Structure 1
Amino acid sequence: MSRPAPPRPVRPTPPEPPPGSGGSADGPVPVLPLDWEKLLTARLHAVKVRPYLADALFALHVVEDRSVPTMAVDAHWRCYASPAFVARTPVEELAGVWVHEVSHLLRDHHGRGERYAREHEAYGAGERLRRNIAADFEINDDIYGDGLPMPTGVVLPKMLRLPEGLLMEEYLRTASMSGLAAELAWLDCGSGADGQERPWELGADGAHGLSRQQRDAVRFRVAEGIKGKPGSAPEGWRRWAEEAFHPPQPWRKLLGAAVRSAVGAPGVGENHSYRRPSRRSAGVPGVLLPSLRRTPPRVCVVIDASGSVSDAELGSALLEVAAISRAVGGRRDLVSVISCDAAARVAVPLCRAESMELIGGGGTDLRSGFARALRSGPRPDVIVALTDGQTPWPSAPPPCRTVVGLFPRPARATSERNPDYVPDTPPPWARVVTIG
């Protein structure tokens, strides 16, 4: 009787080679080509479900690259795609990746990431990953749903218990993200997401890149498309469209510049004086002509102290009063303050802005504040009104320069007595600066 043959050892299955390695444990395997039909079908699906991004999606130039982990973009609107990633990803999810990558470019994460790194001296691989994560936090809450399924492992602010709707810079300031660094080490959306160039990118001199003018033109067309069809885009995209070519201004500098411009305008604080005769007197023998002498201008600040203005806004108004006194050369004796709701109080000379008491709390009618300012003696050269704008305005321009600092309010404010009430906008004769 023959003895049974010993069992043959089972050979373990060789591990799958990394994407683009071109080999396996059994020898070389064919290099996986990029499935262009699948990739471009996914782009068409992205255009179908996010039509307001069509111009940007078609502006991207695709570059096949096996060294890219998934898909990535550079600052010149090239999209680098891994053939292995395209092969294993469903079309609907690929469409979401298209929208994700083009969102980085539209939101200018490249330029913003560079500025953040320069201002905070935040360089290196770890800081690059933090910027990429924060940029993903900013855009991912506007991408998925309505035809774009959310893939497993998508990076969202709730991973760090952070609120949605913030900007990349706000996420970078409020979270270290060190807890996500290990599990998201694979994340790499390219320099278009964080401002740091990669070895596999073609650079500024490479082929098929868009110039700065071309990139701005794409952003402009997308922004105009979003604004032209209200309600078709999420809130984050609508906010971006409004601010894309009208970025928020440093309102403290603008308000100070408006006041300095008003007090420095011709005719403000100028009087004729005989203390020093005019040089033109030499051309008129026997006639003494006065010279034009510039005296320090007077500023009256009318502060809206009605019930619709919060305590925090009143506090910021007093800070602006102090800044206005500096704008006129630090002469507090030349600055007076009127608190006004439905009625104007007495004009109070400025001593210390932080100790000034603002009286009000009722309705709003700044016309009485303007009238009180013009009745005060001597009459001011400039009137600065700090208000939420929910007030009637004088029907005629005052005989002096006017600057209006507006506390921000919704586009359509309502009233308990009249739900259809819409406040008047500041008159065209006033220089308007939005505060905050």
Structure 2
Amino acid sequence: RPLDLGKLLAARLQAARARPYLATALFALHPVASRRVPTMAVDRHWRCYAFPAFVDRTPVEELAAVWVHEVSHLLRDHHGRSDRVARERGLTGPGERLRMNIAADCEINDDAFGDGLPCPEGAVLPAGLGLPPGELMEDYLRQFRLGPATRDHVWLDCGSGADGLERAWDLGPDGAHGLSEQERDAVRFRVARGITARPGSAPRSWRRWAEEAFHPPQPWRELLGAALRAAVTGSGAGDDYRYGRPARRSAAVPGAVLPSLRRTPPRVAVVIDTSGSVADAELGSALLEVAAISRAVGGRRDLVSVVPCDAAADRVHRMCRAGGIPLTGGGGTDLRAGFTRALS
């Protein structure tokens, strides 16, 4: 049977009515009939592939929910994030890509349904895998492996737009009806602007995504270094006298050496996230930053203290050497306790 395009487009219209803040992205997707996809899938060029038999047997309400699910993969850049995670953690093979697809579905589905969109049959939910809601794909990837808990999801395939792995049915960058990189960014920007303009109608996860879209990640290492340099070398009146460099007024007082005013280097407290979601490699990177901070304050290790914190703050450690700081933790995450301990 040919694809029932009228039913599929009616479902898209219903999805836009149920989630008006996603309407720009929904209507940017181009539907393509394919008998090689299990249900519906997307590629990174914003094409939506639909299996005609799946469209025939699925009610319009559920198809609308699937539309929202698939476009969410693209808006949240799951293909690009999956590629980055695969490079950073050395994940290879279709099994790992399936795990990324499941983790991406957990990120989306915990608050995607309801309010006019029924949960489709077989949808992956965090609770079904014993995982907490409200986390990101990268966090979920650390918390489960393929096994008995995921055997009901081996059929899952949301396409290269969900996990970054090219499929045989993909039309590719030169195929018809694909969006360019600039067009994809423009769609994301318009959706993010719509969410921030009316934040009351979007779930918290979408509001968080929109904030990150407007305020992309910053080069934090350069910003941290600049802040430390400004604190150490910034101009201003000194707060203590030092004889290490005599005052220039000494020339006017023969036979006397006058001290000069010097600024005391800042006292730095470093709060390190030691919760269970932080990998050993990230903790090692944090210790390297602590050593760099010590050098930035003139090697005064007595001015640097470290506070390991997961859901509770550990005791404050004065820095002798970075490798000797015990990074205890492994629980949940609540850095407010660490900030309170550092400020005190």
Q: 1:158 offset after TM fit, Å?
A: 1.1
Q: Answer 1 or 2: which has greater strand percent.
A: 1
Mark the CA change 1:257 to 1:38 in structure 2 (over 3 Å): closer, same or farther: same
AA aligned to 2:266 is C
Q: 1:118 offset after TM fit, Å?
A: 1.3
Mark the CA change 1:179 to 1:248 in structure 2 (over 3 Å): closer, same or farther: farther
Counterpart secondary structure, 2:152 = coil
Contact 1:34–1:86 (CA<8 Å) still a contact in 2? yes
Q: 1:143 offset after TM fit, Å?
A: 1.1
Counterpart secondary structure, 2:41 = strand
AA aligned to 2:207 is R
Aligned residue among 106, 121, 124 for 1:152: 121
Mark the CA change 1:266 to 1:89 in structure 2 (over 3 Å): closer, same or farther: same
Structure with bigger gyration radius: 1
Mark the CA change 1:181 to 1:321 in structure 2 (over 3 Å): closer, same or farther: closer
Aligned residue among 68, 90, 96 for 2:37: 68
The equivalent of 2:279 in structure 1 is none
Aligned residue among 54, 69, 76 for 2:23: 54
Give a deviation string over 1:366-398, Cα, whole Å, max 9, x none.
Answer: xxxxxxxxxxxxxxxxxxxxx98xxxxxxxxxx
AA aligned to 1:114 is D
Contact 2:66–2:120 (CA<8 Å) still a contact in 1? no
The answer to whether residue 268 in structure 2 is matched with residue 299 in structure 1 is no
Counterpart secondary structure, 2:23 = helix
Counterpart secondary structure, 1:72 = strand
Q: How does 1:252-267 map to 2 (within 5 A)?
A: 254-263=223-232
The equivalent of 2:97 in structure 1 is 128
| TM-score of the aligned structures, taking structure 2 as reference length | 0.73
Contact 1:65–1:80 (CA<8 Å) still a contact in 2? yes
For structure 1, the residue ranges without an aligned partner over 5 or more in a row are 1-31, 275-295, 304-308, 313-318, 338-349, 356-386, 389-405, 409-434
Q: 1:249 offset after TM fit, Å?
A: 4.4
CA–CA distance in structure 2, aligned partners of residues 222 and 82 of structure 1? 27
The equivalent of 2:67 in structure 1 is 98
CA–CA distance in structure 2, aligned partners of residues 211 and 298 of structure 1? 54
The equivalent of 1:87 in structure 2 is 56
CA–CA distance in structure 2, aligned partners of residues 98 and 65 of structure 1? 16
CA–CA distance in structure 2, aligned partners of residues 331 and 253 of structure 1? 21
Contact 1:129–1:181 (CA<8 Å) still a contact in 2? no
Counterpart secondary structure, 2:142 = helix
Contact 2:55–2:63 (CA<8 Å) still a contact in 1? yes
For structure 2, the residue ranges without an aligned partner over 5 or more in a row are 239-244, 249-261, 275-286, 306-317, 325-334
Contact 1:299–1:336 (CA<8 Å) still a contact in 2? no
The answer to whether residue 105 in structure 2 is matched with residue 139 in structure 1 is no
The answer to whether residue 160 in structure 2 is matched with residue 194 in structure 1 is no
The equivalent of 1:225 in structure 2 is 194
Q: How does 1:204-223 map to 2 (within 5 A)?
A: 204-223=173-192
The equivalent of 2:87 in structure 1 is 118
CA–CA distance in structure 1, aligned partners of residues 246 and 45 of structure 2? 61
Give a deviation string over 1:227-257, Cα, whole Å, max 9, x none.
Answer: 1112101111111111123234465663233
CA–CA distance in structure 2, aligned partners of residues 329 and 120 of structure 1? 35
Contact 2:266–2:297 (CA<8 Å) still a contact in 1? no
Counterpart secondary structure, 1:244 = helix
Q: How does 1:12-411 map to 2 (within 5 A)?
A: 32-249=1-218, 251=220, 254-263=223-232, 298-301=264-267, 324-332=293-301, 335=303, 352=320, 407=339
Q: Answer 1 or 2: which has greater helix percent.
A: 2
CA–CA distance in structure 1, aligned partners of residues 140 and 304 of structure 2? 42
Contact 1:114–1:194 (CA<8 Å) still a contact in 2? yes
Moved more, 237-246 or 129-138: 237-246
CA–CA distance in structure 2, aligned partners of residues 107 and 353 of structure 1? 40
CA–CA distance in structure 2, aligned partners of residues 193 and 106 of structure 1? 10
Contact 2:231–2:266 (CA<8 Å) still a contact in 1? no
Contact 1:297–1:328 (CA<8 Å) still a contact in 2? no
The equivalent of 2:283 in structure 1 is none
Mark the CA change 1:268 to 1:117 in structure 2 (over 3 Å): closer, same or farther: farther
Q: What RMSD, in angstroms, separates the aligned Cα atoms of the two structures?
A: 3.7
Contact 2:42–2:159 (CA<8 Å) still a contact in 1? yes
Q: 1:181 offset after TM fit, Å?
A: 4.3
Give a deviation string over 1:75-108, Cα, whole Å, max 9, x none.
Answer: 1111111111111110000000000000000010
Mark the CA change 1:140 to 1:332 in structure 2 (over 3 Å): closer, same or farther: closer
Q: Which has the higher contact order (CA 8 A, sep 6+)?
A: 2
Number of residue pairs matched by the alignment? 287
AA aligned to 1:299 is P
Mark the CA change 1:332 to 1:129 in structure 2 (over 3 Å): closer, same or farther: closer
AA aligned to 1:108 is D
Deviation beyond 4 Å, 4+ runs, structure 1: 248-253, 264-269, 271-274, 319-323, 350-355
